[in-house]
Structure 1
């Protein structure tokens, strides 16, 4: 009679330690899943051209929303939620040329955020807007990065 199979404790992978956000972004591979693509699209359309820390903060807002219980529970559902992001039309993220350097950066930033490979400069933020937009007085400012202000 064979011995029953015993479960094996597999250590949970720990995020890599990087010396900088630049290094964390540069270390990401080019593969992607649905969450990474949706998050990269949002980072691309909302914050391309912003500092990496601002792009990471945008990604973190979307992840925070998915975890909050106040928004849809998946990254893609948060990004495509009606009325949340102006680049989304009829629940569809516009196509992006994946060979664009700004998209490759957005995808790497999305992966850093999804893997928690670098601390977000706006860790508790659920909202952001451009500096040119007035905010509601009910929100608490968490950070101002590049052309965006982040709130919880």
Structure 2
């Protein structure tokens, strides 16, 4: 039924696109109570099928896909499954579901937040998560969260010589919630596309070359020039 529905919607759309393609299709206006509605519908669909047969297959696929995309968007215009509006406070984050076990990408992001920013505010941890996600999307960096986190020399906890042992369960749960929200498409609205950060206690050599985009808690954020 879904295929028939999309096909019929495509036929209507193509009526507008192809003009004369359906010029020979008519619907009976007979008042005869014995007229068969199913017969009229069959005739209509048969005529449309013949007309659609003259349209290239790829064009039908484009029109059908457009119909489906429009129907998947609610009246508000927001994509289906859009994450809730973020609130950077403890009470709101506490109301979010706990993720005890997720994908490898989730684990890599949650672990990075735990070791790099668990002492930061909720906003500060989201900001660090933005940096990791921004790197994934940027040319020149690995195309996965785990790849970015494990890239040599990028995150201090990866090369400090200490085992990555999680001792604070509550802090990791909080990092896990933030990771899950970011993976679900939470907006990145804190760091203006930052790709780097450092604590206020240090001054790495690249800091004077990269434009600073934000200062949140103990961290300063920067965006690497160039790229997209």
TM over 0.5: yes
Higher RCO structure, 1 or 2 (CA under 8 Å, sep 6+) = 1
Normalising by structure 1, report the TM-score. Answer: 0.82
**Match status 1:85 vs 2:155:** yes
Aligned length: 146
Structure 1 unaligned regions, length at least 5: none
Normalising by structure 2, report the TM-score. Answer: 0.57
SS in 1 for 2:129: helix
**Corresponding residue of 1:126:** 195
Moved over 6 A (4+): 4-8
Contact 1:25 1:109 in 2 (8 A): no
Which of 15, 33, 38 matches 2:82?
15
Contact 1:26 1:108 in 2 (8 A): no
Cα RMSD (Å) of the superposition? 2.6
CA distance in 1, matches of 2:94, 2:81: 16
Q: Give the structure with the larger helix fraction.
A: 2
Contact 1:48 1:102 in 2 (8 A): yes
| TM alignment of 1:3-152, pairs within 5 A | 9=68, 11=72, 13-18=80-85, 20-22=87-89, 23=92, 26-30=95-99, 31-89=101-159, 94-97=164-167, 100-135=169-204, 136-152=207-223
